[in-house]
Amino acid sequence: MFFNLKFLKIGAVAFVAMLSLPVSGQDLLARQAPIDKKMRAVDSVALQRLIKSDNLQNPAFELYQDWNNQYAHRCTATMPEVYKIDLRHFCMPTPSQRITSNYGYRRSFGRMHKGLDIKVYIGDTIYSAFSGKVRIVAYERGGYGKYIVIRHPNGLETVYGHLSKQIVQENQVVKAGEPIGLGGNTGRSTGSHLHFETRFMGQAINPAEMFDFVAQDVTCDYYLFKANGRGLALTSEQARNYPDVVYPSDKNKPMLAMAEHAVKPAAPAKKANTVKVHKVRSGESLYTIAKKLGTTVNNLCKMNGITRRTILRPGQILRYS
């Protein structure tokens, strides 16, 4: 560490002068100390604001090597093996609780559906899920229709499709909960709804692993993304045992293994709030599922925003607790 001799000399002179002050002068210095402490606190707050502003202007810059307004999913940067995503300070993109199509393979279209379809009506307000910066505002006739892509400081990118109107611009900084568009039925869509995607460096993650639209809440405080596709929901307490990021060549991998070993025995803090789901199998009905799970058809309908007449699809996820 290098010291400035000029400032050391000034400090020494000031110290000697303080010793020579009368008692009243030392009292003044004592009274000034809390003020100096407050000024340092103000400086710290200003620094935090500056860091927060920079994170919004350059969201997740340590992960992404580029910023473009063309490609929704392309990412050329090296993907980490593990990354801890902070889901706190979120906002639900819509107050709607009804999911009309889940994440997964669609037989009817012969392709993967890489998001959730949430029932909204034309003109319903759509909100940014987290604070971030708008990367794409575009129109895709054979797909998303009018859509928006936002990159967030936590490493996620969220996609909002089939909008009737986009009310933000590319490169605009938005806050969590800020209106960004209106629900619609544009693009490849058979009815008004919001197509919502969560992606990490271009790779799709099932939004249901992070967002519970029925409960209008996130499923956990942190989501541990894993390149092998086996993500992990973490409480804030459990998250402390995990490194923020691990690359394939990183020496921290043994630490990750130790963290996983340490966290596995930990039970959820509140078992009553644990979300339980059932994956619909071929031939099952609401009645047979309710009987099997020890609940009622009315409860299943209420928790999943469906009716007794809703046709269940194999692979569909139903919440029952």
Instruction: Name the residue ranges covered by the structural domains of the chain.
Output: 5-57, 82-231, 277-319
Q: Give the mean pLDDT of 34-39.
A: 62
Averaged pLDDT score across all residues of the chain: 82
Asked whether the beta carbons of 116 and 164 are under 8 A apart, the reply is no
Q: How many CA atoms within 13 Å lie on the side-chain side of 141?
A: 0
**Of 64, 59, 88, 60, which is closest to residue 76 (Cα–Cα)?**
64
Domain 82-231 has CATH 3.50.50.60: no
Rg (alpha carbons) of the chain, rounded to whole number: 26
Amino acid at 54: D
**Is the pLDDT reported for residue 285 higher than 50?**
yes
Q: Give the mean pLDDT of 300-312.
A: 79
The verdict on pTM exceeding 0.85 is no
Task: Give residue-wise pLDDT tens across range 138-197.
Answer: 999 989 999 999 999 999 999 999 999 999 999 999 999 999 999 999 999 989 999 999
Alpha-carbon span 52 to 154, nearest angstrom: 12
pLDDT band at 300 (very low <50, low <70, confident <90, very high): confident
> In this predicted structure, what is the pLDDT of residue 305?
73
Distances (CA, A) of 6 to 1, 2, 16, 17: 15, 12, 16, 17
What does CATH list as the number for 277-319?
3.10.350.10
Task: Give residue-wise pLDDT tens across range 86-119.
Answer: 999 999 999 999 999 999 887 766 788 999 999 9
> In this predicted structure, what is the pLDDT of residue 30?
62
Q: Give the mean pLDDT of 33-42.
A: 62
